Structure 1
């Protein structure tokens, strides 16, 4: 019985098992009557394939190439498309649709290049430009909330149940992190800002405290 379309190729171990099965049921290089059909039914292949595997191993016939032939890779076309991706400005490479339109490359082709690692997807976030004084103040604030209870050796962080932060919440008008599609040999663009106040924001006044559970309610 012939294999159904889409069935994967027969593994090498199964081919060897079919050949050995038919070798035990052959005489003078000829397969006995009904042996090929029995092997096909046992191993789930067609009779012609079972006979072919036997001839390839015990009659010295050349082994056929497995699977479909590989399509030739057009390296010149790939290199030209990768060059168009590199020449596209970063602000037009934040989505696949925008990159496909700017570089005149089909979206499905870009997806195939991503799977083959010709193009990569990276996320870039704005890094804070911290000075040594900023880092020192951050460390001092964190150490101020470390305490060691009397009679204990281990340090612990203050529970902060009695602390309420009155803060102004600022929301950026545009994203601080962006996604770009780059070629395999490109580095991710580095973006920094001395302070987030340089980004347009909307402000909300908020009170922030650690949640507490009231067992009487």
Structure 2
């Protein structure tokens, strides 16, 4: 047999694969004569496939008996020096502050880096990340509890006779059942980020990015206003919930010459977000957008925002000047230290930013264009999903007595939408509502009679 054939049939592993076993059997079958193996068939096959004669003989015997599967048990090899239970206990005895990296765990436990890597791969230990959350006082927790409780209503008994409480559809208020809520908030959007991940082929190199300082990266603050998507019966179409997104910037002529533009050229200048500028944006941009796009059958609108200092200028008395033509606008502040109770902070801003960062921006105008484009590209299904997540968060707030010590829920909304089983609203057990009512009564907090 030539050396080239032997090289082609050499094996990297000492264990025979199923494919190699089948090839050996086929080769032996070709040498059969009158139901028996030909003379020298086993030896020639062993040389051809670079295996021992005994291996070929046992393989043929197993084939004749009707079973060529491995005879070894499921777990073979030497016993581990340290069992999974021992590794779990050793790692558990180390303070969590000393488990931030694999090397830290190795230094603290004495286990090798390879052993820790294998433990991470087989699930003995897990990698998890944590983020700082807002510190809540007892008063904050009660306010969060009352806020979420006001968003729950009792439905009619189902077929089984049990009452079910469900998050109110369209984010309805308890005291005004046909009111609709518009979530408003501001956010900075940067032209670029300090660390950017990219996947490359072996012959590619990472792009060299430079800047004088992180302070020189252009950024723009935007005000966004959204509501829950719904069907607009008056227009016979779907209302996508996206009322608008506006940058705190103005076009003004340049006052002096520079190497970039001549004096008098129109340039984009940023506006400081003050009480006056925020009130002007609400009255001149948000309110007209609501009147233009909002379903006209529902003209009682609640504007929800956080407790930032510039928001103090927007009060109900200010909104009375624009509450015309049957429209009624009121302000509602979400509980302090509760960004998880606003749809924008909860996830919609993150979705916008994920799309905005796919476009390379080098100036303020580029940031504005990319951000507004991302806002328009997001589908109303994405916004509706965040509203469902908000309802799930409200239920968790009730479960944790107003605290924020919980993970954001994953409802698998996209899979449920494809299967046609996506719920319209998130349900809430009656026992949980009764528990919240009892806590609020103990703090002498009254809820509307409709609840």
Q: Which has the higher helix share?
A: 2
How far residue 87 of structure 1 moved from its aligned partner, in angstroms, is 1.4
Name the counterpart of 1:142: 183
> 1:115 and 1:159, CA in 2 relative to 1: closer, same or farther beyond 3 A?
same
What does the per-residue CA deviation read over 1:95-141, in whole Å, with 9 as the maximum and x for residues that have no partner? Answer: 112222122222221111111211111111233457437779xx855
Q: Provide the C-alpha distance between the structure 1 equivalents of 2:35 and 2:236, rounded to a whole number of angstroms.
A: 87
Residue 41 (structure 1) shift: 7.5
Q: Which residue of 2 aligns with 1:160?
A: 245
What is the rounded CA distance, in whole Å, between the counterparts of 2:81 and 2:34 in structure 1?
A: 49
Q: Does the C-alpha gap of structure 1 residues 46 and 104 become closer, same or farther in structure 2, counting only changes over 3 Å?
A: closer
Unaligned runs of 5+ in 2: 1-5, 151-170, 172-180, 185-223, 250-270, 275-335, 339-363, 371-451
1:73 paired to 2:80: yes
State the match for 2:118 in structure 1: 112
**Structure 1 position 57, deviation (Å):** 3.7
| Contact persistence 2:31–2:41 (CA under 8 A) | yes
| Structure 1 spans left out of the alignment, 5+ residues | 169-193, 197-207
Query: Whose RCO is larger (CA < 8 A, sep 6+)?
Result: 1
**Size of the alignment, in residue pairs?**
171
Q: CA RMSD in A?
A: 4.8
Higher strand proportion (structure 1 or 2): 1
Contact 2:248 2:272 survives alignment (8 Å):
no
Distance 2:182 2:94 in 1: 45
**Does the residue aligned with 2:86 lie in a helix, a strand or coil?**
helix
State the TM-score, normalizing by the size of structure 2. 0.29
Taking the TM superposition and a 5 Å limit, the aligned residue runs for 1:1-217 are: 1=6, 4=10, 6-7=12-13, 9-12=15-18, 14-16=20-22, 18-19=24-25, 21-23=27-29, 25-26=31-32, 31-36=37-42, 39=45, 44-46=49-51, 48=53, 49-58=55-64, 65=71, 69-74=76-81, 77-128=83-134, 129=136, 131-132=143-144, 140=181, 142=183, 145-146=225-226, 153-155=237-239, 156-161=241-246, 163-164=248-249, 166=272, 195=337, 211-212=368-369
CA drift at 1:86: 0.7
Distance 2:247 2:126 in 1: 48
Partner of 1:189: none
